[in-house]
Structure 1
């Protein structure tokens, strides 16, 4: 599943296990556990959310309401000889749950 302008899709909730620094180690998606390959390069960045478009006010001291966290990692089902898949994960401001933005299966 790759999200493109021609084939938009809604992000799905996924469970992500991270190390103490917050780097994803494993992803539970579609009934499978995918292990992040430590030998591949991971990408980590922050985008901005237009909170003012979705919420009318922000309480003083609410915290960071605009930083959307993204990770792009490559992962594989343990013990399989299948190709690595690229997962793009997203976490909204102040959220603890992760969303699956896209999975590129190389097809």
Structure 2
């Protein structure tokens, strides 16, 4: 099942460290078949507030996203982001094309 790394970037200090992070992250994603599906596009809050931007990276499954995040290559650049931004990052499983909203009722049991 497809899985996603989702970041809510509330504040970013754009400087040399963030530039280096951006220059190097793609090479860390490639071995895990990760790809950006959202990367800082325009955010339009329709309910509540949403300060910052959204980044969504798609992976084939949870194992790939967790292996990428724990990888030596990503861990080497991670401080470039964490020391220069305020953000929240989560990993979440996707659903298949047959998923319906009521499926969560059956899963909750």
TM-score in terms of structure 2 length = 0.25
Larger proportion of helix: 2
Larger proportion of strand: 1
TM-score in terms of structure 1 length = 0.25
Greater relative contact order (CA < 8 Å, ≥ 6 in sequence): 2
